[in-house]
Structure 1
């Protein structure tokens, strides 16, 4: 069987971009859903521009937040440029929602009848390069003796499937909650701030890839942070949250973390 033509053409953006490539701190930031690009060959997945402007396609406001936070922390930041509707780089390959044909109430017809070869092509061209770059950065730091702390940044819609979400920010973790517990304590000291503990999402082996593979399996400190999207609509809001998160992240490492205790039994 002949191989399909390359998915990405000369006019398509790079798979990811790096901000703070010379960051000297221990912090390594990721933004899996920072972009909404779609390869030209896929003709916008037959979706309206209006839909591609919504949270269905990407994490609104997270790119601006991530860049401001990276600048404050002198951190390395990697941002994925393509829409999660093409392939979700925070889902294990082969997971049912790795390439969705229905997102919330929005059908994605171009994804409904993909061949195995087409799915594998999206993985090889858009998923694998991003995670190889994260792996290479962490490997390089380990060789140089530079500590690493992984922070996966996301944003969430204030209303999902008709349900309002009251949290301003969510602190997510799986087996290893050492860093997350410190961040929860720090954020909850601010009066009026509603902080979710594994809300509005929880980390699992089935629903998360970045944190599990690059954080848990490497046994480095890690956490996932979700900020509500209506708080990130302006540059001022993004800066406010960057300062808030930078403050609690730095404070969280003021004392050495306790020894890691988690194992690798299945995580639901």
Structure 2
């Protein structure tokens, strides 16, 4: 199913003009050869390193036809977070949820090299893909941890959060659609606000007038194959609804 890849990204399926493209900026926990983050390997299995479950959901959406293609980051967010501005500290994070990352204490040249290897190729190739196959809808797919280690007192009861910045065309439709599902706890700009953490969509969707929906699914709901299949089906149905309502 993988159509193309490089060190910064993977493309599953075949993008189609007018179709659905899933974008997952934090789909991988891969640390390339030659990079030593200097942290406990266990951390690489946790939310600080990867959006748990999103690669499985995205691949199932493509396999089932619920999405035409999925654009997935091919490097851990701890190596380079492509959903941050280049000059943001979090683009090459020195700490995440209270965990120090000594391998990212780089000088200016080392930091720029990291960005040149991963951040810039990711966005350059994504821009080319979008321009060549203008999607009808982009689904920006993330997952979130039920509790941050640094702020355990903050409850995160939502099953899914809908995130957006200025363009709320898709969220206005998605929120009531999700709200009709029995037992589903839906967050509007929860657990994060898309007005603060929305770099990839700001650059490739909002700046270009492309319709998109940002979602965060709670990671414990998509941590296994059963949950991934369930949410792939649900999000595929939501994408179909959004396309129908906005054409």
User: By the TM > 0.5 criterion, same fold?
Assistant: yes
Counterpart of 1:76 (choices 54, 57, 69) is: 69
Question: What CA deviation, in whole Å up to 9, does each residue of 1:62-86 have, x standing for no partner?
Answer: 1001111223324121111111111
1:33 and 1:141 map into 2 onto residues whose CA distance is 22
Count of paired positions: 238
Runs of 4+ more than 3 Å apart: 22-25
Counterpart of 2:182 (choices 191, 194, 212) is: 191
Unmatched segments (≥5 aa) in structure 1: 1-12, 258-268
Shift of 1:23: 4.6
Taking structure 1 as reference, are residues 199 and 22 closer, same or farther at Cα in structure 2, changes over 3 Å only?
closer
Q: Are the equivalent residues in 1 in contact too, given 2:136–2:243 (CA < 8 A)? A: no
Q: Are the equivalent residues in 2 in contact too, given 1:183–1:252 (CA < 8 A)? A: yes
Unmatched segments (≥5 aa) in structure 2: 1-5
TM-score normalised by the chain length of structure 2 = 0.91
TM-score normalised by the chain length of structure 1 = 0.84
**1:200 — aligned with what?**
191
Task: Tell me the secondary structure at the aligned position of residue 255 of structure 1.
Answer: helix
2:32 and 2:182 map into 1 onto residues whose CA distance is 44
Q: 1:1-268 residue pairs with structure 2 within 5 A?
A: 14-21=7-14, 23=16, 26-43=19-36, 45-71=37-63, 72-112=65-105, 114-142=106-134, 147-160=135-148, 161-162=151-152, 163-204=154-195, 207-256=197-246
1:150 and 1:107 map into 2 onto residues whose CA distance is 34
Task: Tell me the secondary structure at the aligned position of residue 253 of structure 1.
Answer: helix
Q: Are the equivalent residues in 1 in contact too, given 2:137–2:243 (CA < 8 A)? A: no
Name the larger-Rg structure: 1
1:254 and 1:156 map into 2 onto residues whose CA distance is 28
Q: Are the equivalent residues in 1 in contact too, given 2:17–2:133 (CA < 8 A)? A: no
CA RMSD, Structure 1 to Structure 2 (Å): 1.6
Question: What CA deviation, in whole Å up to 9, does each residue of 1:66-123 have, x standing for no partner?
Answer: 11122332412111111111110000111122111111111111223x1111111111
